[in-house]
Chain A
Amino acid sequence: QLQLQESGSGLVKPSQTLSLTCAVSGGSISSGGYSWSWIRQPPGKGLEWIGYIYHSGNTYYNPSLKSRVTISVDRSKNQFSLNLSSVTAADTAVYYCARVTSSGSYSNWFDSWGQGTLVTVSS
């Protein structure tokens, strides 16, 4: 059974870079043609999509975060990562990694999720 596990710093200072890793187990990150994604949820609020890394290695980011986001993959470690630069208190959230399945260019769904990790931005 596929499992995803987020890890990284739980406390980041304002203006610094948030860095998280999602370790994938129970399956290869390179098989099945799947894409991978990061999604966040501020405390008590709704979900916000951050971006994709496609099976090809190409990336696509939410335009609202595009200037600050980098998603990368390390296939040798079966994991993918998120960097979010110049963080502010507004970036405080639970960050989830997820597997993406698609049936077409504009039909994507998140079928496996990590447990989430809370990142707090504070000095």
Chain B
Amino acid sequence: SYELTQPPSVSVSPGQTASITCSGDKLGDKYVSWYQQKPGQSPVLVIYDDTKRPSGIPERFSGSNSGNTATLTISGTQAMDEADFYCQAWGSSAEVFGTGTKVTVL
């Protein structure tokens, strides 16, 4: 079955840039979405179709996807961005979520 692998954790200082990777076989040929989940809350869509931001999502969130890796970038990270992040794409026969990355703003 198809797998999406993310680093377990990423640490970033306030105001700096956080990059979260999502790796999968030929992932660049697929469409990737990203979700932010804060403790005790439901996930929130922050990027879809690799690079598009839903209305209401700050411009500091951006996405890219090429080769075997998709990347979610948070520019000018704020304390409120501390959360778990999950990538998602269609695998060979099912929707697949990544393993998840905890972003800590130090």
Contact = CB atoms under 8 A, between A and B. Distances in A.
Interface of A: 37, 46-49, 62-64, 96, 101, 103-104, 106-111, 113-116
Interface in B4-48: 30-31, 33, 35, 42-45, 48
Most buried by B among A64, A107, A109: A109
A108 B90 contact: yes
Interface centre among B35, B93, B94, B97 (most CB of A within 10 A): B94
B94 A106 contact: no
Contacts of B88: 47, 49, 109-110
Interface residues of B, number: 23
Contact of A104 (B31, B45, B86, B99): B31
13 contacts: A37-B95, A46-B98, A47-B43, A48-B97, A49-B88, A49-B97, A96-B43, A101-B48, A103-B31, A103-B49, A106-B30, A107-B49, A110-B43
Given A49-B95, A49-B96, A62-B94, A110 B49 contact: no
